[in-house]
Amino acid sequence: MKALSQKRRHPLAAIALLLMGLLLTGGLYAVATTVNEAKASTAEFTASDTQEGQKLFEANCATCHGMGASGTQDGPSLVGVGAAAVDFQVGTGRMPMQMNGPQAYKKPAQFNDTQTHQLAAYVASLGAGPAIPADEYLDEKGNAAEGGELFRVNCAMCHNAAAAGGALTRGKFAPALADVTGKHIYEAMATGPQNMPVFNDSNISPEGKRDIITFLKQIEANGSPGGADLGALGPVSEGLFVWIAGLGVIIAFTIWLTSRTS
């Protein structure tokens, strides 16, 4: 008992207890989150969806992602990525990829909506992950002002303040967000494709994602009030254009004057 009492008074005892408490709390939170995601990811799918999705996966995706979606050297494991990741990647035509490269390009989808739904069902059955968003978050009736603030804080450094896209490192890029459906915008935030970080509900709430979608659709509908937007790349490109065009006019005018005097 005396030895135990001395260990309790050890200087590191408080730190050890704190670490144990943090680990326990984090573990319980992870379990609770996983259970909720599992329910959300599988509730909208039937057993038939999952079976048909498995057939499609084995015929079209297993070459890169492996049987059971466990991953290979050519493609990552899809266990736990959730239905939203599949719906985004397949629905935008990024998957299957045409060729290996630094980034998957958007292209016409290879699978129709029903097949995409079935593929999502199969992958969702393999492990909990982000679910396809509910329609209530895709109605584009959120707060555009709040969405604009969230977008500028979290997204503009890559996608540009006007959502025109931008270059990243090693041949990668953040795509422009015009003509992208609200569902795919939401799914991209929830799953973090390519170099994009994951914005889960703890980072940006579903209501916040709805506001961002509303903001993006509003600026897409309004267009550029000043005429030519020059790619919406900001004052640097606009100033450079004015400088080059203005300098060209001055040179042309100078040549014209000198030719007249001679």
Q: Per the annotation, does 184 bind a ligand?
A: no
**Above 90 in pLDDT, residue 26?**
no
Can you give the pLDDT at residue 153? Answer: 95
Can you give the pLDDT at residue 226? Answer: 57
Q: Per the annotation, does 65 bind a ligand?
A: yes
Domain ranges of the chain: 12-130, 230-261
Q: How far apart are CA 168 and CA 12, in angstroms?
A: 45
Both structure tokens of 219:
């600026």
- For domain 12-130, the CATH superfamily is Cytochrome c-like domain (1.10.760.10)
Q: How far apart are CA 119 and CA 128, in angstroms?
A: 15
Q: How far apart are CA 164 and CA 176, in angstroms?
A: 4
Can you give the pLDDT at residue 37? Answer: 46
pTM comes to 0.74
Q: Which residue has the higher pLDDT, 39 or 213?
A: 213
Question: Mind giving me the DSSP string for 90-131?
Answer: HHTT-SS-SS--SSPPP---SS-HHHHHHHHHHHHHHS--PP
Q: Binning pLDDT at 50, 70 and 90, where does residue 212 land?
A: very high
Q: Which residue has the higher pLDDT, 206 or 166?
A: 206
**Above 60 in pLDDT, residue 83?**
yes
Q: Binning pLDDT at 50, 70 and 90, where does residue 142 land?
A: very high
Can you give the pLDDT at residue 36? Answer: 44
Q: How far apart are CA 56 and CA 69, in angstroms?
A: 12
Q: Per the annotation, does 117 bind a ligand?
A: no
Q: How far apart are CA 162 and CA 177, in angstroms?
A: 9
Q: What's the distance, Cα to Cα, between the start and end of the chain in Å?
A: 111
Q: How far apart are CA 54 and CA 89, in angstroms?
A: 17
Residue 72's DSSP bridge partners are 75
**Mean residue pLDDT across the chain:** 84
ω into residue 108 within 30 of 0, thus cis?
no
8-state DSSP, 174: E
